[in-house]
């Protein structure tokens, strides 16, 4: 009887641990290169190298762009799965009416998940 209760308690702890892990935020980071200046969430980013960090709470993600240790932009995005993994890190932009570019998506080498910005 005592063994059965212990087994039930351990099973409950295991279920709770797995549930907590599944609901935990997914984080990631990657280095990207902007070949030309682009807008993100009202912030102008100059051409150059950036470290992109994100924390996702499926599917919403909080994204931070850093140069060195300095945060230069933050934005909200959605983490979306594509059919195929990206061959390399890539930044997808769209042309604005004023001639500037806005970041709309970031793809990550070897990953099917991409960050999509509004």
Q: How many domains does the chain have?
A: 1
Q: The whole model's pTM is what?
A: 0.76
- The CA-CA-CA angle for residues 33, 26, 18, to 5°, reads 160
Does residue 80 lie within any of the structural domains? yes
- Give the domain range for residue 103: 26-116
| 68 Rama sector, left if φ>0, alpha if ψ -120 to 50, beta otherwise | left
pLDDT mean for each 10 residues of the chain (118 residues) = 52 42 68 96 94 92 96 96 96 95 97 94
The reply to whether 15 falls in a domain is no
Cβ-Cβ contacts under 8 Å for 104 (sequence gap 6 or more)? 92, 93, 94, 116, 117
Q: Does residue 18 belong to any structural domain of this protein?
A: no
* Residue listed under structure tokens 């994204």: 63
Tell me, yes or no, whether 70 lies in a domain: yes
């Amino acid at each position: 009887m005592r063994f059965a209760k212990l087994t039930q308690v351990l099973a409950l702890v295991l279920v709770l641990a797995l549930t907590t892990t599944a609901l935990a935020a997914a984080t990631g980071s990657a280095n990207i290169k902007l070949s030309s200046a682009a807008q993100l969430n009202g912030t102008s980013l100059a051409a150059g190298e950036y470290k992109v960090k994100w924390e996702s709470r499926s599917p919403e993600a909080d994204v931070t762009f850093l140069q060195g240790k300095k945060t230069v932009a933050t934005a909200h995005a959605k983490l979306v799965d594509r059919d195929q993994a990206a061959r390399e890190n890539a930044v997808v932009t769209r042309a604005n009416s004023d001639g500037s570019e806005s970041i709309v998506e970031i793809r990550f080498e070897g990953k099917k998940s991409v960050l999509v910005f509004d």
